[in-house]
Amino acid sequence: MNRSIDQHAGPLPSAANGRALRGIASSDVLRVMGAEPQGTSTGVDALIERYMDQRDATYWDDSFIAGTCTVPGTDGDWTLVLQFDGGVGMRPRFLEALSAAGRAVTHSSNGGAPIDLFHWYEAGKLRTSFEWPIDRYGSTPDEPVPLMREIGFDLTEDGTGPSTDTNTAVLALAERLTGVRLTEELLKDAEYHFGHVPEEPAEEWTKFVIDITDAHGERFYKEVTREEVEAASARARAEAEAPIVILGTSSPAP
């Protein structure tokens, strides 16, 4: 199961007023995400139940249920977004909008594979992002390095340095940047605002390219147009829908 934990605040300390950090309400976060409101409830169990119901109803759909709540953090209240989304995560356009006047720090983890993703947005821009701690990118990829060293990330090129569990370390880094401490009690006792975030519309496309080079250096390259794909799909559907004729031993040969 994939989970994403997203933390948002209002304007940063440059606003010269700590209370300005109390900016983005739960309902506003859901609005920016284009979510359809689904009411409120207390406790993360209710969010998980909503997620399971929605997954069963739309298994192949990339829409998801998000829960938002208000939590204490650095210099004021923050909005916490918790979602179980099968890998969809917080889309970059959401994070750019939510951090336009402040900061957004996200962590997502795939329980079925050792994948822990971290993103830090500020003033609408991606500051630092990584899956592997030494492979960072963004406008300021090295800014959190001192914090990462304190926490215990392995930042050696060969991966032989001392390191804490990556999942734990990423959560600790998110806490350092937000002041939001995630505890079992916080998640159990919070009042969540639920929203159903719709699937992203599919992008228009005209062709795709197959470009494969095998172990012997042999290259296969082919461009396939949308018209070719649609024609092949139509033929496959027609063949699948055609009646099946079974000829008996006394039937004339076709």
Residue 148's pLDDT is what? 93
Bridge partners, residue 76, by sequence: 73
Phi, psi of 3 (to 5 degrees): -130, 150
Whether 87 and 145 share a structural domain: yes
Whether 63 and 187 share a structural domain: yes
Question: Do 178 and 103 form a contact (C-beta atoms < 8 A)?
Answer: yes
Whether 100 and 143 share a structural domain: yes
Please report where in the chains the tokens 């959190």 appear, as a residue.
144
Rg over alpha carbons for the chain, rounded to the nearest Å, is 24
Q: pTM (2 decimals)?
A: 0.69
Residue 146's pLDDT is what? 95
Q: What is the largest CA-CA distance in the chain?
A: 93
The strand ranges marked E within the chain are 2-9, 36-42, 64-73, 76-83, 103-110, 115-122, 125-130, 191-197, 207-213, 219-225
Contacts of 222 (CB under 8 A, 6+ apart): 209, 210
Query: How many residues are recorded in the chain?
Result: 254
Tokens of 56: 């069963």
Whether 135 and 222 share a structural domain: no
| 252 within some domain | no
Residue 251's pLDDT is what? 54
Q: What is the Cα–Cα distance from 188 to 53, expressed in whole angstroms?
A: 19
| 124 within some domain | yes
Q: What is the Cα–Cα distance from 104 to 236, expressed in whole angstroms?
A: 46
| 246 within some domain | no
Whether 110 and 235 share a structural domain: no
Which residues of the chain have a pLDDT value below 70? 1-23, 58-60, 85-90, 110-114, 162-164, 201-203, 247-254
DSSP 3-state assignment of 232?
helix
Bridge partners, residue 2, by sequence: 110
Whether 159 and 234 share a structural domain: no
Question: Do 29 and 94 form a contact (C-beta atoms < 8 A)?
Answer: no
Q: For residue 171, what are the domain limits?
A: 2-197
| 253 within some domain | no
Q: Domains in the chain: how many in total?
A: 2
Residue 1's pLDDT is what? 35
